[in-house]
Amino acid sequence: MAKNLIAVALLICTSLTWTVRNSYAQAKYPSRNIDLIIGFAPGGTTDVAGRIFAEELSKLLNVNIVPINKPGATGTIAGAFTLNARKDGYTLMLNSGSGMVLSHFVLPDVPFDTLRDFIPIRYVIVSPTIIAVKGDSPLKSFEELINYARKNPAKLTYGSAGTGSDTHLVVEQLQDVAKVKFSHVPLKGGGQVVPSVLGGHVDLGSTLVSTAAPHLRADTLRGLVLAHQKRLTVFPNVPTYSEKAYPQVFIKYWGALFAAAGTPKAVLDVVESASEKVLRSDNYKERIEKLGGSVDYSTPAEMRKAIQEEQKATASLVGRLGLKPGK
């Protein structure tokens, strides 16, 4: 009897010790640098916004947030990398709707299920997509673009952030409703679109306003049309698809922070709380708006619901357009 009591007491002590140590470890989070895996190449909106976010988050958590670019396969390489890292909160990921939603419908063998394998934390930036040409392009307006494309099917090339990206599918939508055809040149991230247009490697760039903004201001790029409810105050001369009788053309870009499923809740709470403070700071809002983006204050639960709705809408869109994995 005494031996049994001693055994039970030892088991309780061991359990309490583990619980205390585990709680203490979580309470100390973060105690070292955090890697922020970014799903796209340097220079694009996801990358630039991610670096701004990392800088501001570092100030609140008192550790360095280290941006690490893992571009390729429309953000899914970053997803696979993050999923295979330790689930301790020291590897977080910044990815977009392209990598977390759209890619699953147009790429073969995506190695993760977004809402099963990842936990959405906060949106970092949202931004409209835009079709832009070089500043000295003979195409001066959206009407000229459509007229030329109808007379010259598949002659005009356009660059996007990659197959399955929002900047790819928005043009697929346009081709479907306007009955035109462009030749797609998938690039390795949004950061390559503008240089490809400026260098004459493609005729058009389907990119984000936040990526194109400096060149739109400098007139080295000309915006022809954007996917938004109304014209932007910062670029009032660029019309919307709705104005041009194509309200069906609308895909929302977002970049968001994720953690791998299995990350301790105590850790997630720390990251989510600090992230909300970053988003609600005037300094962060101002920096994101200068990029041509905006801030979205959705909670993790609201994000999860929104992603579920996007998955359904994308399945419908891809089915209607007849897109196949790898196209």
Q: What's 38-77 look like in SS3?
A: ECCCCCCHHHHHHHHHHHHHHHHHCCCEEEEECCCHHHHH
The pLDDT of residue 94 is: 98
Tell me: pLDDT of 22 over 50.
Answer: no
Minimum mean pLDDT range among 11-15, 66-70, 184-188, 234-238: 11-15
Question: What pLDDT digit, counting tens, does each position of 74-113 carry?
Answer: 899 999 999 999 999 999 999 999 899 988 988 889 999 9
Residues present in the chain in total: 327
The pLDDT of residue 68 is: 98
More confidently predicted of 6 and 64: 64
Minimum mean pLDDT range among 145-149, 164-168, 214-218: 164-168
Question: Which residues lie closer than 8 Å to 30 by C-beta, 6 or more apart?
Answer: 61, 62, 63, 89, 90, 270
The pLDDT of residue 324 is: 72
Reported as a pLDDT band with limits 50, 70 and 90, residue 224 is: very high
129-227 has the same fold as 32-126+253-321: yes
What pTM, to 2 d.p., does this model score? Answer: 0.78
The SS3 assignment for 199 reads coil
Round the average pLDDT of the chain to a whole number and report it: 89
The residues with which 208 forms a beta bridge, in sequence order, are: 129
CATH code of domain 32-126+253-321: 3.40.190.150
Once rounded to an integer, what is the mean pLDDT over residues 105-123? Answer: 95
Question: Which residues lie closer than 8 Å to 314 by C-beta, 6 or more apart?
Answer: 101, 102, 105, 169
For the chain, give every domain's residue range.
32-126+253-321, 129-227
The SS3 assignment for 145 reads helix
Is 129-227 CATH 3.20.20.450? no
Reported as a pLDDT band with limits 50, 70 and 90, residue 318 is: confident
The pLDDT of residue 326 is: 55
Tell me: pLDDT of 1 over 80.
Answer: no
The pLDDT of residue 195 is: 96
Q: How far apart are the first and last CA of the chain?
A: 72
Question: What pLDDT digit, counting tens, does each position of 240-290 carry?
Answer: 999 999 988 878 789 999 999 999 999 999 999 999 999 999 999 999 988
Q: How many helices (H) and strands (E) does the chain have?
A: 13, 10
Tell me: pLDDT of 15 over 80.
Answer: no
More confidently predicted of 85 and 191: 85
Cα–Cα distance, 272 to 254 (Å, whole number): 17
Cα–Cα distance, 111 to 305 (Å, whole number): 22
The pLDDT of residue 130 is: 96
